[in-house]
């Protein structure tokens, strides 16, 4: 892996993430939740911002763009074509299958609607890194605001087909709450029990639980295990359509 990734807290529970190509000096911020921590991180690392890669239009992922552009006016804003009008100031609008460059690093754009109708993620295949925004979280997924539940299911299943070693960075530190909820719907999953205990210890120590991996999520994330008979039985939906199972556990999580 040639890419350098630097992650740090922003706002209340967001993450800022910088992706740096040491070969060219190019640096991207994944979303822009808050300008000040991003600028501080750039200064600490001695990196120059060249790109802003936006996953979706929500303010807690875009509100820092203006201040970042004021400091780095040549930074290129790349964002989902289907949400570019809501974001504003977009230099490059991208859609499914498009390629995005950060120096010599290359990402494929995957459309993952559900949390928002135009949400995208950035998959750096050679580096085995996925920047998932608010589509996939450790032990969870984003709330479904702008599409039917089935659309989010399709998006999540798309991500499960990525190489299992892929590291997944996301927009928030939600893992503790997600772990506690996951146990309630998948109580007999021993891997989940072990992981939940590890998450409790990490958060007690003030440590981050991100990134995760596709392999770990497929094994322990209830929103990716909607076709598993044990989980279905645990929530009283044995043999049910997986989308109906997803809808049930997503609605339970919304109420949690």
Q: Which residues participate in catalysis according to the annotation?
A: 56, 58, 60-61, 115, 134, 172
CA distance 238 to 246: 13
Give 77's strand partners.
52
Helices first, then strands: H and E counts in the chain: 10, 14
CA distance 216 to 194: 12
Please give the distance of CA 252 from its chain centroid, rounded to a whole number.
21
Instruction: Give the phi and the psi of residue 188 in degrees, each rounded to 5.
Output: -100, 5
Q: Are 198 and 221 in contact (CB under 8 A)?
A: no
CA distance 121 to 134: 9
């Amino acid at each position: 892996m040639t890419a350098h990734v630097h992650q740090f807290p922003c706002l209340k529970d967001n993450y800022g993430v910088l992706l740096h190509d040491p070969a060219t000096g190019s640096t991207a911020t994944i979303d822009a939740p808050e300008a000040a921590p991003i600028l501080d991180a750039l200064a600490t690392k001695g990196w120059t911002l060249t790109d802003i890669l936006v996953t979706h239009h929500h303010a807690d992922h875009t509100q820092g763009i203006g201040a970042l552009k004021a400091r780095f006016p040549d930074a290129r804003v790349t964002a989902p074509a289907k949400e570019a009008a809501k974001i504003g100031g977009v230099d490059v609008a991208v859609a499914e299958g498009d390629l995005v460059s950060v120096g010599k690093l290359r990402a494929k754009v995957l459309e993952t609607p559900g949390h928002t109708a135009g949400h995208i993620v950035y998959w750096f295949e050679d580096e085995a890194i996925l920047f998932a925004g608010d589509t996939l979280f450790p032990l969870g997924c984003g709330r479904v605001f702008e599409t039917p539940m089935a659309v989010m299911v399709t998006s999540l299943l798309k991500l499960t087909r990525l190489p299992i070693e892929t590291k997944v960075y996301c927009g928030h530190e939600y893992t503790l709450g997600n772990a506690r909820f996951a146990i309630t719907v998948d109580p007999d999953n021993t891997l989940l029990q072990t992981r939940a205990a590890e998450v409790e210890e990490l958060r007690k120590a003030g440590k981050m639980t991100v990134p995760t991996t596709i392999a770990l999520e497929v094994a322990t994330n209830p929103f990716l295990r909607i076709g598993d008979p044990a989980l279905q039985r645990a929530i009283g939906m044995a043999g049910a359509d997986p989308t109906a199972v997803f809808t049930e556990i997503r609605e339970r999580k919304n109420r949690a």
